[in-house]
Amino acid sequence: MFGIIPVLCFVFFVVIYAVNSSAGGVMTRWRVSFLAGAVTWGLAVTAMTEVLSLFRLLTFSWLLGLWVGAALVSAAICARVSTREKLTALLRFPSIPRFEFWCVAAVAAIVSMVGLVAFAAPPNNSDSMIYHMARVMHWVQNQTVAHYPTNIVKQLFQPPWAEFAITHFQALSGGDRWANLVQWFSMAGCVIGVSLIARQLGADARGQVLAAVIAATIPMGILQASSTQNDYVTAFWLVCLALYILRFKTQPSRANAWGVGASLALALLTKGTAYLYAFPLVVWCAFSALRSLRWRAWRPLLVIVGIVLSVNMGHYARNFQLWGNPLGVGQEPFSNEIFGVRVAVSNVIRNISLHVATPSGRANRAILKGVHILHVPLGIDENDSRTTYKHPFYQFDINRFSTLEDLAGDPIHLGLMMISLALLLASREQRKARDLTAYAIALVAAFLIFCTYLRWQPWGSRLDLPLFVLWSPVISLVLLSRRSYKIAVSAAVLLIAASTLYVFRNETRPLIGVGPDSTVLNTSRVDRLLKRHTDLRDHYLGAAHFVETLRCSDVGLLIGDYDLEYPFWTLLQKTGRQPIRIEHVDVTNSSAVKCAAIPYAGFSPCAVIVVDADRNPASIAERGNYTQAWSSSMDAVYTEAWSSGPVRVFIKRESLREARVM
């Protein structure tokens, strides 16, 4: 229930900006204010999280107090600046032509249905259960976002903003009902934002609506918007960044400079790919500032740099303290081992191929063969381990046609992107539109930087989401430059029709289906939680039930880099008997130094859940006991008391005797 308070605060922010805005008509004012309110809200989340974490006060009561205070203050400001005339003017929405009306209605329907899925389904994406949601649970438990000992270092060094927001809702609501809505909100924000970018680039109302349709129907976006991944959140902040850069070029005011800095800061605090995608946009902004302001450009540029550093300082400091690097040092080699034109071209080919998978195995094999042929003149193998993700190594292949948010491609949108780029390059008239051309060049440069720096990954199509979103205005402007109403109608109808498959038949969160347990609306949250990992369901449930019978409140986890942690939090906390404390044990990576810090030093679990096969649990069984290697005390001895599949539970010998008595 209390999760609604931050939302109310956001609404007040939007109204305040709308009342004081002078940007265009009513619809434009509301859209600009939505983005400004979101950026302000994002900064508020960051500030509250970082300050409270310094004193280990990231708790329900403190978060509730701060959000109530923020809501009251913003409501008071809203009441003070609003007059009946201003509010009445803001509610006079203009009539729109039939085509635009039905497009807006279709977009609203798509976003609403995805929102229903997001609210009804638990976070069941693999990455969410490995580290997105797992880190949230540790932060809520620890009452701080400070680094902690963990066997999954991705929980620490990865940029945290999306999880900051989820943490607030998790702490205030006491559950994960709001968790998926952070991505869903970002989808709605992107739809609004790209329409404004299109307007800024010269599109009329029809072009703005078409840009929104293109963004709303991206398959990967529809699938991700109901999860707790963070690519859509990243896309949203990058959309805000692009809009504020365009506005700053037109009007280099302090407010627009703040918008650029805040949007960039939040994007970098959300995902590492934002550094690659934002770089060309930021360079464009800097050159524009130098050209228009000359020596006076140092002021807005200094403001932008200052905001970026201040917002990210907390995360940078935590990483630097542990790894000596503000970006952290993970165990996964994300970047290429070799660089050059051949590597970039290879990755361009392979990344594009992620979006052209078909339901036909024969067609996919033909595409795979084509990729191989294209690599022959490059003198580099498509499976070169130096440019291919290798933890573990994934051989290059064409993904099956999928409605899974990790693997789905965006074939129609890819085709429209290529067509629009070709038409833009071929049209002398459109090349005269400098902002549109520069914007398109920046996005192409971003993709080339992405391919030059990062290894090819089989799930790379989801990392491309920000580019597809940002390219939507370009497609709209180029298509409508043909001055054909039929082109706009045909494109909109095609995209909306194709999107229905992804809206209704998400592989792990379907909205429609046949029979019981077939949709998010008729399946229990526990079953839906492990929908993609049904082979682990009974093992995880059994382990949680066994720990419950022990009445054990301090549980240790010994799991690997890719094991699912979040289900244990959900299943163990569902017992409701007593608060459960969960900590990683036998940590051997760089975060092990945190084991000696309070409150981890004194942790002595009454049960240890082991999933990590890499730690050779068979040797534990042969010894018959497991010595507490993560503690300075070697007195506690653990014996295997329960096992099922890859999951084992070790408990103290005295606990084992008690369990046998019960």
Q: State yes or no: pLDDT of 131 exceeds 80.
A: yes
Supply the angle between the helices 254-268 and 26-54 in degrees, to the nearest 10.
50
Q: Return the pLDDT at 224.
A: 98
- Cα separation, 193 vs 205, in Å, equals 14
Reply yes or no on whether the pLDDT at 616 is more than 80: no
> Residue 444 corresponds to which tokens in the numbers above?
């192409």
What average pLDDT does range 211-217 have in this prediction? 98
Instruction: List CB contacts of 505: < 8 A, sequence separation 6 or more.
Output: 403, 511, 512
Band (330; pLDDT cuts 50, 70, 90): low
Q: Which range has the worst mean pLDDT, 235-244, 517-526, 582-591? A: 517-526
Provide the pLDDT for residue 633: 42
Cα separation of 27 and 180, whole Å? 27
Please give the mean pLDDT across all residues of the chain: 91
What would the two tokens of residue 612 be?
């990590």
pLDDT at residue number 618: 41
* Partners of 584 in the β-ladder: 557
Nearest to 242 by CA among 178, 297, 198: 198
Residue 612 has pLDDT above 80, yes or no: no
Of the candidates 45, 417, 34, the residue with the CA atom closest to the CA atom of residue 193: 34
Tokens, residue 89: 């003017």
Q: Element (H or E) spanning 9, and its range? A: helix 4-20
Which amino acid belongs to residue 233?
V
Specify whether the CB–CB gap between 527 and 578 falls below 8 A: no
| Cβ pair 552, 651 in contact under 8 A | yes
User: How do residues 254-302 score in pLDDT, each as one tens digit?
Assistant: 999 999 999 999 999 999 999 999 999 999 999 999 998 888 999 999 9
Strand ranges, E, within 508-654: 554-558, 581-584, 607-610, 626-627, 637-644, 647-652
pLDDT reading at 59 higher than 50: yes
Asked if residue 308 lies in contact with residue 237, where contact means CB atoms within 8 angstroms, the answer is: no
Confidence of residue 640 (pLDDT cuts 50, 70, 90): confident
Single-letter residue type at 467: L
Quick one: tokens of 8?
């109310």
Q: Which two tokens stand for residue 179?
A: 């968790």
Distance CA 168, CA 136 (A): 9
Measured CA to CA, the distance from residue 641 to residue 655 in angstroms comes to 10
| pLDDT band at residue 658 under the 50/70/90 scheme | low
pLDDT, position 331: 46
Task: Answer with the residue of higher pLDDT: 591 or 640.
Answer: 591
What contacts 66, CB < 8 A, 6 or more positions away?
Answer: 48, 52
Token pair, residue 330, equals 């993970």
The predicted model gives 426-447 an average pLDDT of 90
Q: How far apart are CA 477 and CA 480, in angstroms?
A: 5
Mean pLDDT of 645-659: 75
Give which of 512, 508, 571 is closest to 537, Cα–Cα.
571
Cα separation of 92 and 96, whole Å? 12
pLDDT reported for residue 628: 42
Which of 383, 371, 403, 374 shows the shortest CA–CA distance to 224?
403
Task: Yes or no: say if 240 and 38 are a contact pair by the CB < 8 Å rule.
Answer: yes
Kindly tell me if the per-residue pLDDT of 430 is higher than 80.
Answer: no
Angle at 46 between CA 268 and CA 233, to 5 degrees: 45
Structure tokens at 484: 């054909």
What does the CA dihedral 411, 417, 422, 427 come to, rounded to 10 degrees?
150
Residue 141 pLDDT more than 80?
yes
Asked if pLDDT for residue 637 goes beyond 80, the answer is no
Residue labelled with tokens 């859209």: 31
Closest by CA position to 639, among listed 659, 624, 654? 624
Any long-range contacts for 653-661 (C-beta under 8 Å, 24+ apart)? 653/625, 655/550, 655/552, 655/606, 655/607, 658/550, 659/549, 659/550
| Residues 338, 346: Cα–Cα separation, whole Å | 12
